[in-house]
Amino acid sequence: MTKKRLKHIDRQKQIIEIAKELVSEGGVHNLTIRKLTKKAGITEAALYRHFNSRDDVVINLIKEVNEKLIETIKSSINSDGNSIDDLEKILNLHYSSIELRKGLSFIVILQASEFESQEIRQAGNNLVRSYLKIIEDLIYLGIKKGEIDRTVEPESASMMFFGIVQVSVTRWIFDPEHHPLNEKSKSLWNLFRTSLEFMDEDLELHRVPFQSNTNREK
């Protein structure tokens, strides 16, 4: 019961962590100063030593989610492997039970921020863009390596990938029984994969890169 006296940076981290929980539990407007400080074991006034305003907390939360997301994704990418396999890895990462159980998908935080202040939406926009950029780069690389059909436009494909994540999370939010990690989601992924791989023209040229795929050629 002793009041912990944390250092600025640690308190900030703690607050962001609690903020994440609150948003996960009930959206951005469940993130109130009262609840936040109560959970953190400090007074409301103390919060303002570490953040300028509630908006400041939200913005930093989004930034943190952004950083963690990028970091996690990048570390899970195998630059020597197949880019389509990497995409699948990323998708599974979003669907990982740990993340989803906590409800802290970046999608959740993103959607919850839609109607907040201009500054918060700006942070949200950055999150969307940096995420799309990573996926886009990966697809571009896949095309270069001949793993993805060269008629595929990376920007469209990355948006579709984002859409897959988003729709999965949305379904799951409105119906918790509909967990993304079941078979149906697998076939959603297969549909996407197909749209990347297959394209009929210049078949001769594409055949070779496909050799790297598993379970093919006999």
Round to whole Å and give the CA distance between 136 and 145: 14
Buried b (16+ CB within 10 A) or exposed e, 158-184: bebbeebbeebbebbeeeeeebbbeee
Residue 103 beta carbon to DNA: minimum distance, rounded to whole angstroms: 19
The partner in contact with residue 130, picked from DNA, a copy of itself, none with C-beta cut-offs of 5 to 8 angstroms by kind, is none
Q: Which residues contact 147 (CB under 8 A, 6 or more apart)?
A: 82, 83, 84, 209, 212
44 touching a copy of itself, by CB under 8 A: no
55 binds, among DNA, a copy of itself, none (CB under 5 to 8 A by kind): DNA
Under rule CB under 7 A, residue 85 binds DNA: no
Single out the residue of 93, 128, 141, 181 in contact with a copy of itself (rule: CB under 8 A): 128
- Site for a copy of itself contains 213 (CB under 8 A): yes
Interactions with a copy of itself, residue window 137-166 (CB under 8 A): 152-153, 155-157, 159-160, 162-166
Backbone angles phi, psi at 51, to 5 degrees: -140, 150
Among 108, 109, 135, 143, binds a copy of itself (CB under 8 A): 108
C-beta of 118: minimal distance to a copy of itself in Å? Answer: 11
Q: Which stretch binds DNA (CB under 7 A): 45-53, 107-115, 135-143, 159-167?
A: 45-53
Which residue of 55, 64, 137, 197 would you call a contact of a copy of itself, by CB under 8 A?
A: 197
Residue 72, burial from CB neighbour count under 10 angstroms (0-12, 13-18, 19+):
middle
**What is each CA distance from 86 to 62, 73, 89, 124, 188, in whole angstroms?**
24, 9, 5, 25, 16
Is residue 31 near DNA by the rule CB under 7 A? yes
User: What is the helix (H) or strand (E) element at residue 95, kind and residue range?
Assistant: helix 83-95
Angle 85-175-73 (CA atoms, 0-180°, nearest 5)?
Answer: 25
Question: Closer CB to a copy of itself, residue 80 or residue 201?
Answer: 201
Residue 209: DSSP 8-state:
G
Footprint of a copy of itself (CB under 8 A) = 26-27, 29-30, 108, 110-112, 114-115, 121, 124-125, 128-129, 152-153, 155-157, 159-160, 162-168, 170-171, 173-175, 184, 187-188, 190-192, 194-195, 197-203, 205-213, 215-217
Binding site for DNA (CB under 7 A): 3-8, 11, 31-35, 41-50, 53-55
